[in-house]
Amino acid sequence: MNNISNNDSRPPGSYSDGNLGEVLLSKEAIRTAVEALGKRISDDYAGSRCLTLICVLKGAVVFFSDLIREITVPVTIEFITAKSYGNSSVSAGEVQIVKDIDTDIKGRDVILIEDISDTARTLTSLISKLKKREPNSIKTAVLLDKPSRREVSFVPDYTCFQVGNEFIVGYGLDFAEKYRNLPDIATLIAY
């Protein structure tokens, strides 16, 4: 895992709208970390013939598509969308599955792949819902972890980078659905 500080002053990717700060993670740094994670997962699951990788949409899609190509053991892939509700009709922080996976994970080794763990409500809730389907094992892999923002206790099994409190975009992460296509990860300085 890598600890990150803001030390790259190159302009981020292809955007020049004035809302982006510095590049926090260059595409080269991300690529190196994703390759290393793919090797780790391949080693850890060397004996598994039933590994399912679940992409948590939408933010993880870029990380997911790069990571799965670095994994050398057989896998199946699935996609899930979670939505958190903070309004009066559902208790604050409640997470629901709004697009479910297509296959049965009973008896399978599962890794949930997410862009960033922030409060950790999304991943902890998805884990408890998916555990009821009796997978053989369930772990989590995140590109980014913001441990200082936790509302529930949680440590991802695999983390590429630990980051601080700033809001970041790019490489799948958005602000109001924008910036997902940035090849680097940059801080958002204006909202």
Contact between 187 and ligand IMP (CB under 6 A)?
no
Residue type, 164: G
Among Mg ion, ligand IMP, none, partner that 78 touches (CB below 5 to 8 angstroms by kind): none
Indicate the burial class of 190 (C-beta count within 10 angstroms; 0-12, 13-18, 19 or more): exposed
Among 160, 173, 182, 186, binds ligand IMP (CB under 6 A): 173
Among Mg ion, ligand IMP, none, partner that 140 touches (CB below 5 to 8 angstroms by kind): none
Contact between 119 and ligand IMP (CB under 6 A)?
yes
Alpha-carbon span 80 to 103, nearest angstrom: 11
Among Mg ion, ligand IMP, none, partner that 168 touches (CB below 5 to 8 angstroms by kind): ligand IMP
CB 143 to Mg ion: min, Å: 11
Indicate the burial class of 7 (C-beta count within 10 angstroms; 0-12, 13-18, 19 or more): exposed
CB 72 to ligand IMP: min, Å: 27
Contact between 117 and ligand IMP (CB under 6 A)?
yes
Contact between 168 and ligand IMP (CB under 6 A)?
yes
Respond yes or no on whether the N-terminal peptide bond of residue 58 is cis (omega within 30° of 0): yes
Query: Is 118 considered catalytic here?
Result: yes
Which spans of this chain sit near Mg ion (rule: CB under 5 A)? 59
Indicate the burial class of 132 (C-beta count within 10 angstroms; 0-12, 13-18, 19 or more): exposed
Among 118, 126, 171, 186, binds ligand IMP (CB under 6 A): 118
Contact 187, 165 (CB under 8 A): no
Sheet bearing 168-169, strands edge to edge: 20-25, 185-188, 168-169
What residues line the site for ligand IMP (CB under 6 A)?
A: 59, 114-122, 167-169, 173
